[in-house]
Structure 1
């Protein structure tokens, strides 16, 4: 299920709605593109644009450059052009490490994973109500615990036909035991209670390896740009 670059803006919109709802970030579309105020920062916004035409990127880069402590996230394959254009607006490259990944869920298993070890418990719950002004129709959180110790966790939001996965983590002491896959499988099972056809997530370089083994594929790199005074917070 390979997507042409022209479909990246639609994928970005679905992902953004789910991601912002899961993290309860204030959002704005005043620039004509999605933006979220990251709670990790005092005042900065993160602006997003997918597969941008040169004029659209130039306009949004100027907005980001004029917004204190803000960051511009550009999704698409033409990384060098994005960096060159952003440089003209006074923005510098921060990272190209993350990638957008997608999974075909049309034939996915709706069964909850089986956790054989009796010392561990897996739980999935619907969280919060419908996020104000958001099109995310449902949100779920999954945890794997042993006693009071959190071994692995993650969240998913349902937006249209997409399941947006976020904050997928495994504690260092519990890695390489399959817990990360169990969390994804449990969240997928709940997302499939709705009419989802695809999964979306942003992956770090380490995460890409695991997700590729699980059948995900890379759609495009994510180019992060910021003014020299901005200090982006890692995912």
Structure 2
């Protein structure tokens, strides 16, 4: 996807993310999109693919609801001076993409893999032979792209190839479903895994949420 601009990439990611999370449809804004998520600590999010200081400050000044998030596709150090002390910084994120192709994924000894699709979301679950949770992940297809989401490996089962198993299974399933491009927002911890599987970093993403001091538990 060498010719795809950041705004188009972010919109493609949003199209799959809202399906994956069961959120409301994104609402177009002059600076990007607003999405109602509807969770107590994640009421809504504002997504700015090319954030400017003026736009961010305007959103910050208008925000009064705790649990409002900002997803700003820029480095943390660039955008942090634009928000006040009541905004908390989450882990840095990275928008990444890859060309989808059939993948070979072998389940390590001592584990089982289950997959299913419901409501437009395909999920993969890895458990131990005793049934204990080990790893998971999911994707939602939107047109020719698939958005990979909520990839997680339990701490006690890391460094055993389960993250790669989940990702290869999701990538192959997305390809079989007709998607040609994969998109995700990964954490610093996951970036090395995704890069080893052919994913390319397209943009950093700063993630912040509003939690005024008088609303903290």
Task: Please indicate the TM-score interval, normalised by the length of the shorter structure.
Answer: 0.7 to 0.9
For 1:103 and 1:40, the matched residues in 2 are separated by 33
Partner of 2:117: 126
Partner of 2:156: 173
Partner of 1:51: 50
Count of matched residue pairs: 212
1:34 maps onto 2:17 in alignment: no
Change (3 A) 1:221 1:96: farther
Deviations 1:88-110 (A, max 9, x none): xx8646146221111122xx22x
Kindly state the Cα deviation for residue 62 of structure 1 after the two structures are TM-superposed. 3.9
The answer for unaligned runs of 5 or more in structure 2 is none
For 1:226 and 1:126, the matched residues in 2 are separated by 31
1:184 corresponds, among 150, 160, 167, to: 167
State the SS of the aligned residue for 1:143: strand
Asked if the contact 2:123–2:136 (Cα under 8 Å) also holds between the matched residues in 1, the reply is yes
Partner of 1:82: 79
Kindly state the Cα deviation for residue 229 of structure 1 after the two structures are TM-superposed. 0.9
Asked if the contact 1:100–1:221 (Cα under 8 Å) also holds between the matched residues in 2, the reply is yes
TM-score normalised according to structure 1 size: 0.76
Structure richer in strand, relative to its length: 2
Partner of 2:178: 195
State the SS of the aligned residue for 1:113: coil
Asked if the contact 1:124–1:187 (Cα under 8 Å) also holds between the matched residues in 2, the reply is no
**TM-align CA RMSD:** 2.9
Partner of 2:124: 142
For 1:150 and 1:228, the matched residues in 2 are separated by 32
TM-score normalised according to structure 2 size: 0.81
Kindly state the Cα deviation for residue 30 of structure 1 after the two structures are TM-superposed. 6.5
Change (3 A) 1:219 1:173: same
Change (3 A) 1:28 1:214: closer
The answer for unaligned runs of 5 or more in structure 1 is 130-137
